[in-house]
């Protein structure tokens, strides 16, 4: 448990964890608040090679997958970072930084798809 106390006392780790939690909340709330308006046809995919039928529609559950993905990324990267902190601090910070990148991409893609609605 000594590594757990060191992990949560590291300032850079706490900064990255805070950023990840903020991005998860941002992704979740932006998707949930935009789905509140109703409607059934959401554009969930864009395939450029299909030409005129490039946009694929889906249901609300497809858009809720973005919320689930954000929560899964937060939990998985936090756990992996915590487990690797005892081995190497830089690896642990890299894992959290890559989680931040995934969450930023999640926010961008979900907002882009919801804007096409």
6-16 per-position pLDDT tens digit: 888 999 999 99
Query: Which residue carries 């959401």 as its tokens?
Result: 42
pTM of the model: 0.87
Give, in order, the Cα–Cα distances in Å from 90 to each of 16, 17, 22, 96, 97.
13, 15, 22, 10, 10
Q: Give CA–CA dist 112/59, Å, rounded.
A: 16
Give, in order, the Cα–Cα distances in Å from 39 to each of 52, 105, 117.
23, 25, 9
Segment 15-57, tens digit of pLDDT:
999 999 999 999 999 999 988 766 667 777 778 787 777 778 8
Q: Give CA–CA dist 83/80, Å, rounded.
A: 5
């Amino acid at each position: 448990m000594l590594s757990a106390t060191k992990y949560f006392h590291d300032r850079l780790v706490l900064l990255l964890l805070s950023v990840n939690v903020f991005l998860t909340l941002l992704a979740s709330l932006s998707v949930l608040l935009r789905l509140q308006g109703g409607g059934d046809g959401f554009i969930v995919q864009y395939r450029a090679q299909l030409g005129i039928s490039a946009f694929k529609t889906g249901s609300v559950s497809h858009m809720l997958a973005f919320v689930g993905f954000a929560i899964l990324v937060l939990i998985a990267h936090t756990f992996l970072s915590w487990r690797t902190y005892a081995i190497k601090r830089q690896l642990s910070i890299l894992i959290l930084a890559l989680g931040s990148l995934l969450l930023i991409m999640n926010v961008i893609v979900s907002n882009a798809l919801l804007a096409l609605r």
